[in-house]
């Protein structure tokens, strides 16, 4: 599904959406739940892409429904795999989870990638700007591409309205609210979350922080 020019939601990843952005180089944002590698590759094919055409895979954070197919997709496509330095130890399984994430890690097994590249604030990856938005996790990032915010789990949507992600999976609520206020100062028209359908920003962001 094309959200705006060069930004595609992969409908095969419903429940935890991945997005394909055709900027300076093709970028896949997040990789959904484990077991969806073939579905993602099929979605890329439907958009006219061969696996080797993918240049980058960017992970917004370390939750299992975002890194689920990262290792397999990186191996098949040869794409560079990116995450923030704060998230890499969690993604690679070198740091133990706590709370609800600890249980989720037991219930949902992930083949964890190793040796990722790390990005910094303001870095451009295939034309996407990396925006640090910690709170949901320590090193969560969002990505800005033109007038589109790829929000990861910074926010979610329900029935066309922006919502905060469930507090059960929020690492630090006050840090999250600071991230929301910071992002609210940026210019963008579309909000593309992992959970829920993309929505136009309008005046909704101001009701969150």
Report the CATH number at residue 179: 3.60.15.10
Nearest to 197 by CA among 159, 164, 142, 167: 159
User: What pLDDT is recorded for position 106?
Assistant: 61
Q: Rounded to a whole number, what is the distance in angstroms from the first to the last CA of the chain?
A: 29
Query: What's the pTM?
Result: 0.94
In whole angstroms, give the CA distance from residue 116 to residue 93: 13
Contact 109, 35 (CB under 8 A): no
**Which domain does 30 fall in, by range?**
2-207
User: What pLDDT is recorded for position 109?
Assistant: 79
pLDDT in tens, the chain (209 residues): 999 999 999 999 999 999 999 999 999 999 999 999 999 999 999 999 999 999 999 999 999 999 999 999 999 999 999 999 999 999 998 887 766 665 666 667 789 999 899 998 888 999 999 999 999 999 999 999 999 999 999 999 999 999 998 888 899 999 999 999 999 999 999 999 999 999 999 999 988 86
User: What pLDDT is recorded for position 209?
Assistant: 66
Q: Which two tokens stand for residue 180?
A: 């929301």
User: What pLDDT is recorded for position 99?
Assistant: 64
Q: What's the total number of domains in the chain?
A: 1
The answer to whether the Cα torsion of 154, 156, 161, 166 is positive or negative is negative
Contact 187, 176 (CB under 8 A): no
The answer to whether the Cα torsion of 147, 11, 119, 124 is positive or negative is negative
DSSP-assigned states of every residue in the chain: -EEETTEEE-GGGTTS--EEEESSSEEEE---STT-HHHHHHHHHHTT--GGG--EEE-S---HHHHTTHHHHHHHH--EEEEETTTHHHHTT-S---THHHHHHHHS------S-EEE-TT-EETTEEEEE-TTSSTT-EEEEETTEEEEETSEEEETTEEEEPPGGG-S-HHHHHHHHHHHHTS--SEEEESSS--EE-TT-GGGT-
In the numeric block, the tokens 């033109």 are attached to: 146
């Amino acid at each position: 599904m094309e959200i705006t020019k060069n930004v595609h939601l992969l409908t095969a990843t419903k429940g935890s959406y991945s997005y394909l952005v055709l900027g300076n180089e093709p970028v896949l944002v997040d990789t959904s739940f484990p077991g969806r590698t073939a579905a993602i590759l099929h979605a890329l094919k439907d958009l006219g892409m061969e696996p080797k055409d993918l240049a980058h895979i960017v992970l917004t954070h370390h939750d299992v429904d975002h890194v689920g197919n990262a290792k397999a997709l990186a191996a098949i496509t040869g794409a560079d795999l990116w995450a923030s330095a704060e998230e890499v130890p969690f993604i690679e399984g070198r740091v133990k989870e706590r709370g609800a994430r600890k249980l989720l890690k037991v219930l949902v097994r992930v083949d964890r990638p190793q040796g990722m590249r790390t990005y910094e604030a303001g870095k451009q990856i295939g034309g996407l700007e990396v925006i640090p938005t910690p709170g949901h996790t320590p090193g969560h990032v969002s990505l800005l591409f033109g007038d589109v915010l790829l929000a990861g789990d910074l926010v979610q949507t329900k029935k066309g309205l922006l919502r905060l992600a469930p507090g059960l999976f929020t690492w630090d609520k006050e840090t999250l609210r600071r991230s929301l206020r910071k992002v609210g100062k940026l210019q963008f028209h579309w909000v593309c979350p992992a959970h829920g359908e993309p929505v136009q920003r309008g005046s909704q962001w101001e009701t969150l922080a």
